[in-house]
Chains A and B, each alone.
Chain A
């Protein structure tokens, strides 16, 4: 868990989430999450029937990858809230980077917490996920 005396409003944490996203990782997520929508794993269906240039990642895979960055920063079991918007699709071959910024340090329900802003971008600097989180800290 982050310690209050070691953090400041405006602190930024950045991580590379994935480089050259593989179709197999999307298959892994489909199997683990149980979302077998063929748009994510079935290139023939997705290109010939649905009319997309290729399969694309589950929005929840982007949120999950971003969550990895977040929990690596705030620590295990510290998150109180985590929410995102899916702003653009993620395609095989994409490289994703995520940045989170501390926007507030405050009391909430008798605990010390921080608010965080989150943005995950692809190799073209286009945001694919934007969001917010609240996490417990050590006072």
Chain B
């Protein structure tokens, strides 16, 4: 995954905070936020995950002029998803999302313009009773702001299972 321009906008932060049940005014009330120690609206700790919106190839989003979508329409499934990047956090391209880690270097603020690059991290295998052989792989994404400063390092761990997980 590579993202050239991830505009961190106040309305997007508001919607994201609502979706994770967060009513903290630091995420939606400009006046409150400006008077606070943060000096303006900031993003919740897992907001960087929404960089998927700014990844042109993110494959878990129906494309405007794509070759179909695998969710249901008239039939229970559409076409297979086209290949593309799975984003920093895992998703089906990496199998199941097993772990997610964030390191915060600077506050992420409304108005920031981020860019992101990902590289593969460690990989390892483990045997499991619930799903057979598990193949884990890390993806490390660095988010930098408009000044080139590192804001967030995100490490996603995906797991490919030998068979479906018993619940």
B and A form one assembly:
yes
Count A/B pairs, Cβ under 8 Å.
145
CA distance A35 to B37 in the complex (A): 32
A17 to B76, Cβ gap below 8 A? no
CA distance A42 to B99 in the complex (A): 24
Given A25-B19, A45-B70, A71-B24: A59 touches B50 (CB 8 Å cut-off): no
Contact of A37 among B18, B60, B101, B103 (CB under 8 A): B60
Contacts of B96 in A (CB 8 A): 59, 86
Contacts of B20 in A (CB 8 A): 29, 61, 64-65, 67-68
Chain B: residues with Cβ within 8 Å of the partner, total of 49
Q: Which of B83-91, B120-128, B140-148 contacts A (4 or more CB under 8 A)?
A: B83-91
CA distance A55 to B15 in the complex (A): 22
Q: Which of A2-10, A76-84, A100-108 contacts B (4 or more CB under 8 A)?
A: A76-84
Contact of A83 among B12, B61, B99, B167 (CB under 8 A): B99
Contacts of B38 in A (CB 8 A): 76-77
CA distance A10 to B93 in the complex (A): 39
A107 shortest CB reach to chain B, Å: 18
Q: In the complex, which residue of chain A has the Cβ closest to the Cβ of B71?
A: A38
Q: In the complex, which residue of chain A has the Cβ closest to the Cβ of B155?
A: A83
Contact of B91 among A35, A48, A77, A81 (CB under 8 A): A35
A76 to B104, Cβ gap below 8 A? no
Within A55-74, the residues touching B (CB, 8 Å) are 58-61, 63-65, 67-68, 70-72
In the assembled complex, B117 has its CB within 8 A of some CB on chain A: no
CA distance A88 to B98 in the complex (A): 10
In the assembled complex, A123 has its CB within 8 A of some CB on chain B: no
Given A28-B18, A38-B71, A67-B44: A83 touches B102 (CB 8 Å cut-off): yes
Contacts of B60 in A (CB 8 A): 34-37
Residue from the set B12, B21, B60, B89 with the largest chain A CB neighbour count within 10 Å: B21
B104 shortest CB reach to chain A, Å: 5
B44 to A44, Cβ gap below 8 A? no
B138 shortest CB reach to chain A, Å: 12
Within B29-71, the residues touching A (CB, 8 Å) are 36-38, 42, 44-46, 49-53, 58, 60-62, 70-71
Contacts of B103 in A (CB 8 A): 80-81
CA distance A10 to B97 in the complex (A): 30
Q: In the complex, which residue of chain B has the Cβ closest to the Cβ of A74?
A: B45
CA distance A51 to B51 in the complex (A): 29
B21 to A17, Cβ gap below 8 A? yes
Residues of A near any B CB (own CB < 8 A): 17-18, 25, 28-29, 31-39, 41-42, 44-45, 48-49, 51, 58-61, 63-65, 67-68, 70-72, 76-77, 79-86, 88-89
